[in-house]
Chain A
Amino acid sequence: DGGITQSPKYLFRKEGQNVTLSCEQNLNHDAMYWYRQDPGQGLRLIYYSQIVNDFQKGDIAEGYSVSREKKESFPLTVTSAQKNPTAFYLCASSAVLLSYEQYFGPGTRLTVT
């Protein structure tokens, strides 16, 4: 089955540690996205990527970094510089950049204490 996988589903870290969230897709999509979701809030775009080795900042990129070394993979690193990292993180992909039809993974809930 084609889709997007994110791992792990739940992640716990101590304050001051960097943590990397995994996102893999086998839909052969060119574009991939990372969103952050907070309780009672909509989704906010962190980073997006159109092609391998290229990515752009979204609305809330500070304290995050990404890489796109393979078409299938778009990992997100939450650095210690992110002031409020506890949130639900969603990865998505689409066939072309900025296509409205984005497909979402199941998400990773990160808790930093």
Chain B
Amino acid sequence: GNSVTQMEGPVTLSEEAFLTINCTYTATGYPSLFWYVQYPGEGLQLLLKATKADDKGSNKGFEATYRKETTSFHLEKGSVQVSDSAVYFCALSSYYGGSQGNLIFGKGTKLSVKP
């Protein structure tokens, strides 16, 4: 079946540090890939997405590139801020592999940014 694996947290960084959160996937067919962010006490917000190989999703200084050859979709940001502290979820959607197009989430990576 389809699945998403992302690096375990928590990740603690100083302000202005470079961020990478690794995400790899297993999927049948040609999935779409996403990063969602969850701020403390809130629901999830779509951060960025990529729907085909080599697409780069970007938003709010974050970016991720859909790499079919390595089945990866790593999230990066060049300079994090305290306000980026949140839990980040990698997810995929595929109409194959038993998922019927539903979103499949990774377990989430908690990011804490210190001033």
Chain A interfacial positions (CB closer than 8 Å to B)? 4, 6, 40-43, 45, 48, 58, 90, 92, 97-98, 100-107
Q: List 14 A-B contacts (CB under 8 A).
A: A4-B43, A40-B108, A41-B108, A43-B44, A45-B103, A48-B102, A98-B101, A100-B34, A100-B51, A100-B93, A100-B103, A102-B46, A105-B43, A107-B42
- Report the nearest B residue to A96, measured CB to CB: B101
Interface of B, secondary structure class, is strand
Known: A104-B45, A106-B42, A106-B43. A42 touches B34 (CB 8 A): no
Pick the contact of A90 from B44, B46, B95, B108 — CB < 8 Å?
A: B44
Name 8 extra pairs, CB < 8 A, besides A42-B104, A98-B93, A106-B43. Answer: A42-B91, A42-B107, A45-B102, A58-B102, A98-B102, A104-B45, A106-B41, A107-B42
A93 to B11, CA, bound (A): 30
- Report the nearest A residue to B95, measured CB to CB: A98
- Whether A42 pairs with B108 at a CB distance below 8 angstroms is yes
- Whether A43 pairs with B105 at a CB distance below 8 angstroms is yes
Chain B interfacial positions (CB closer than 8 Å to A)? 4, 32, 34, 41-46, 49, 51, 89, 91, 93, 95, 100-108
Interface of A, secondary structure class, is loop
A102 to B102, CA, bound (A): 10
A78 to B101, CA, bound (A): 25
* B42 cross-chain contacts in A, Cβ below 8 A: 106-107
* B108 cross-chain contacts in A, Cβ below 8 A: 40-42
- Whether A90 pairs with B89 at a CB distance below 8 angstroms is no
- Whether B43 pairs with A40 at a CB distance below 8 angstroms is no
A58 to B102, CA, bound (A): 9
CB of B6, distance to nearest CB on chain A (Å): 9
CB of A16, distance to nearest CB on chain B (Å): 28
A92 to B101, CA, bound (A): 15
